[in-house]
């Protein structure tokens, strides 16, 4: 079994298996998690995309592990590689469920990603923004207004449905 993120990346495993192995390792080993962020910063574009994808899963399983890296994740939200622009916002969204105040600094970049021509990039940014809005009590009212406007202007039904669903959940809270 590979012992580092880079060893897993070069192991010849299929992509899905690599992501699962990296996620498991990063959740168990803080050194591996640090290496994952090093790959995000210094790897080639394919490796950066994979690192961002793994971050999405790590943040879903153990958001507390991601807290020391929030600034790095925010920095890469608008990175030129689409897979990074997908994974980083999703990681922010998962972290927001438990630690919304720690990720609210991502809001300006998420709003910028909502203008992207890629539906997937917009969906991922919308996911993160709605999670922050649902879980950050102090910003809920302000973000609800933003979500309301976005729900009226977004052309893609999948992205629009994220806003509508979040607004319904927020109205019940």
Domain ranges of the chain: 5-172
Give the pLDDT confidence score for residue 57 in this predicted structure: 98
pLDDT mean by block of 10 residues, the chain; 173 residues: 88 96 98 98 97 98 98 98 97 98 98 96 98 95 96 96 96 86
Give the pLDDT confidence score for residue 151 in this predicted structure: 96
Give the pLDDT confidence score for residue 165 in this predicted structure: 97
* Alpha carbons 113 and 78: distance in angstroms, whole number: 7
A 10 A CB-CB count for 20 gives 15
* The architecture CATH gives domain 5-172: Alpha Horseshoe (1.25)
Residue with tokens 């923004």: 129
Give the pLDDT confidence score for residue 173 in this predicted structure: 78
């Amino acid at each position: 079994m590979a012992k580092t993120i880079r060893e897993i990346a070069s192991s010849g495993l299929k992509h899905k298996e690599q992501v699962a192995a990296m996620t498991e390792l990063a959740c168990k080993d803080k050194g591996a998690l640090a290496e994952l962020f090093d790959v995000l910063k210094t790897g080639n574009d394919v490796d950066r995309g994979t690192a961002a994808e793994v971050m999405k899963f790590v943040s879903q399983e153990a958001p507390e592990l991601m807290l020391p890296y929030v600034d790095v994740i925010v920095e890469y939200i608008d990175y030129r590689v689409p897979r990074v622009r997908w994974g980083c916002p999703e990681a922010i969204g998962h972290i927001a469920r438990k630690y919304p105040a720690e990720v609210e600094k991502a809001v300006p970049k998420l709003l910028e990603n909502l203008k992207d021509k890629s539906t997937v990039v917009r969906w991922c940014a919308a996911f993160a923004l709605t999670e922050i809005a649902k879980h950050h009590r102090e910003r809920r009212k302000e973000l609800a207004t933003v979500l309301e406007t976005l729900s009226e202007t977004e052309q893609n039904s999948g992205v629009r449905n994220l806003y509508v669903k979040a607004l319904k959940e927020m109205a019940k809270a």
